[in-house]
Amino acid sequence: MQTVRWVGGRVLTGLVTLLGIALLVFMAVRVVPGQAERVLLGPLATQEQRDALVAELGLDRDLASQFGIWISKVVTGDLGTSIVSRQPVLDELALRLPVTATIALMALAIALAVGIPVGVLQALRARRRGGAVVSRVLGGLGISVPEFVLGALVVLLFSSVPLGITIGAFTPVAEDVGRGLLSSLLPALVLSVFCAAATARTTRDAVLGVLVEPYVQAAVARGETPWSIVRHHVLRNATIPILTLAATLLAYLLGGAVIVEGLFNVPGVGSYLLLAMDRRDYAVVQAGVMLAAVVFVVTSVLVELASSLVDPRVSTIGARS
């Protein structure tokens, strides 16, 4: 019964979070300088044309009415219509989401494949002063260097050196799997740098926390090798913080790749949102941010459920609190 209450509480918290994000996004896009009708119609439009467009978009209603109408449609799966392309936003996002998802999953896979082993190695060599300094410097650089700087350097390198990858000529995986994966590789590598550094740091801290546990000390006393201890005792008990970080990184990659997609001319959700913000396309901006929020909340809930399966104490402690 406690577990059911805990799961229900997490789901309810997620729904309340989404409602709060929806309200914030709705208000944020309306305080951005520049009126949508002026951006769409241009400076030569008459006042009658502007008034007609405002009425068509429903912007002549009060904010409470606008929010109520929008959120009621969102609940039913209607994300609205783009005021620029006049196409349903859901259809527009469906065309671009596979592109962004491919890059995001590639970046996450690279980050986990690099970050987890590096983090474990850093934890095992934490007492070596030289290795600790090097790992901290590299980790700090990976986290602090902005993605647009890395992206610009990569674009400059591959634009000037013939390495077989064409910058700006993106091919979706749906059209050609091989060329699509190759086109996604550079954006994924740029996005994976921060994620790999964050994963390495989280893994290091989690492993160091497990290494001081009594059962690990007992394994050392039995003469088990360090890597045997890591495989059989450490990784399982250090999984929860890594899973939690992976969920956060996935939501970040799906919703936060705007600049990188722009640099590499990727026709994904990020570049679509950037263009929509410039055009004051409210429906697209709201839908895109809500998509990222839904991904984050859903993955967070799923990770908490997975964590409770790995360590049942998680759900027990959560239910008691």
* pLDDT tens string 213-264: 787 778 777 777 777 777 777 777 778 788 888 888 887 887 667 778 878 8
Which CATH number fits the domain that encloses residue 110? 1.10.3720.10
**Does a structural domain hold residue 95?**
yes
Shared domain check, 233 and 180: yes
Shared domain check, 120 and 261: yes
**Does a structural domain hold residue 174?**
yes
The answer to whether 261 and 167 are in contact (CB under 8 A) is no
In the predicted model, what is the mean pLDDT of the chain?
A: 78
- Nearest residue to 179 via CA among 193, 164, 192: 164
126: DSSP letter = T
Q: Which of 65-74, 118-127, 132-141 has the lowest mean pLDDT?
A: 132-141
**Does a structural domain hold residue 270?**
yes
Q: How many domains does the chain have?
A: 2
Would you say residue 35 has pLDDT above 70? Answer: no
Residue 32 — pLDDT band, cuts 50, 70, 90?
low
Shared domain check, 54 and 202: no
Q: Which domain holds residue 53?
A: 2-75
Is residue 102 packed enough to be buried (19+ CB in 10 Å), middle (13-18) or exposed (0-12)? buried
Shared domain check, 94 and 56: no
Would you say residue 113 has pLDDT above 90? Answer: yes
Shared domain check, 95 and 62: no
Shared domain check, 307 and 167: yes
**Does a structural domain hold residue 81?**
no
Which pLDDT tens digit goes with each residue over 49-89?
777 777 776 777 777 888 888 888 888 888 888 877 888 88
End of a domain among 49, 75, 101?
Answer: 75
Distance CA 245, CA 116 (A): 12
**Does a structural domain hold residue 42?**
yes
pLDDT reported for residue 123: 81
End of a domain among 42, 75, 108?
Answer: 75
pLDDT reported for residue 319: 47
Shared domain check, 195 and 54: no
Angle between helices 89-124 and 177-211 (to 10 degrees): 40
Question: Highest mean pLDDT range out of 18-27, 77-86, 300-309?
Answer: 18-27
Is the model more confident about 135 or about 102? 102
**Does a structural domain hold residue 321?**
no
